[in-house]
Chains A and B, each alone.
Chain A
Amino acid sequence: MDIPHTVQPREDTGLFNAKVGIWLFLASEVMLFGALFSSYILLRVGSPNWLYGAAKDLSVPLGTFNTGVLITSSITMVMAWASLKFNDYGRFKLYLGLTILCGLAFLLIKAFEYYGKFQHGHWPGSHTFYAIYFTLTGLHALHVLGGMAVNTYLWGPGARLWATDPERFTNRIEVAGLFWHFVDLVWIFLFPVLYLL
């Protein structure tokens, strides 16, 4: 059975179905992270001994570098999609491959940071700040991992669709890209909130 509107837009929405689906999913993700940001505000304002500045024991240079890595992955992701739009499959493979590598670099740097925290005895149960820090960054890291899994599939076996249905494959890359950019967007707020303020 053919799935309708994988390429052709629906008359009522003006969009192919997967695009409506990913935006509805992202809306639910906004509420998920929104709830956690609310928790952060509540915990921060209510805590009599919140950690500020250097007392957090977080590395601002590493956090800044990791932000740069994620931003770089966002532009390579959109370039991968644009390459398909202009029928350049070779460039698509290059850019999506770079996106996956940037995601991997981000997770490795994050793991290195976590290791440093654990070495200094900072666990989720150590302090209210670390509880929300590990919750927010851990959930975000899981999203990066999920995005990498999808991107790796689309870079590897999933890319076979390009040969038979290039428009549908391009749409899949667009949808995967929307999720990836959202993950970047969340980090844009997490970085100053957790590292700098």
Chain B
Amino acid sequence: MNTNDPAAFQKHIRIYLGVFVALLAGTLLTVAISYVHFGHAGNIAVALVIATLKAALVAGFFMHLLSEKKSIYTVLGFTAFFFLGLLVLTVWSMQDHPELTASLPPPLPATAGTHHVP
């Protein structure tokens, strides 16, 4: 970034503020949508998609991954591979014990008034 240009500074601040507002909106959307029933898997998928988009905003703009050097992308590529491997292997291993996954109870209906406040 051009560190001597006040206009460039203002531009960066506007971008950061835009990301901040999007993150707050995403959080409220995640909460609101959790009260809509898309089915057990549907609710999980929707929440994780929103969380992934929010994480992408943080990584892309606050952590400047959108304009990072290739060496960092290489490190993160390996990390993503092993991270996904870890998750996939866990889920895959469950196939060896189908009786453990057969007892999933249906989720209780979540309503705004029923969450306990300590």
On A, residues with C-beta under 8 Å from B are 12-15, 19-20, 23-24, 27, 30-31, 34-35, 37-38, 41-42, 45-46, 48-50, 52-55, 57-62, 64, 67-68, 71-72, 74-75, 77-79, 82, 85-87, 112-113, 115-117, 119-120, 177-178, 181-182, 184-185, 188-189, 191-193, 196-197
> Across the A-B interface, how many residue pairs have beta carbons closer than 8 Å?
170
Task: Confirm or deny: B76 has a beta carbon within 8 angstroms of a beta carbon on chain A.
Answer: yes
Interchain CB contact under 8 A, A15 and B72: yes
**How far, in angstroms, from A64 to B117 measured CA to CA in the complex?**
12
* A contact patch SS: helix
**Residues of B in contact, count (CB < 8 Å):** 63
**B118–A113 CB distance below 8 A:** yes
Asked whether any CB of chain A lies closer than 8 Å to the CB of B28, the reply is yes
Our pick among A49, A67, A188 for the contact of B55 (Cβ within 8 Å) is A188
Q: Main SS of chain B's interface residues?
A: helix
On whether A24 and B63 interact (CB within 8 A), knowing A54-B110, A196-B30, the answer reads no
Residue ranges of B at the interface with A (Cβ–Cβ < 8 Å) = 1, 3, 6, 9, 12-13, 16-17, 19-20, 23-24, 27-28, 30-31, 34, 43-44, 47-48, 50-51, 54-55, 58-59, 61-63, 69-72, 75-76, 78-79, 82-83, 86-87, 90-91, 93-94, 97, 100-101, 103-105, 107-112, 114-118
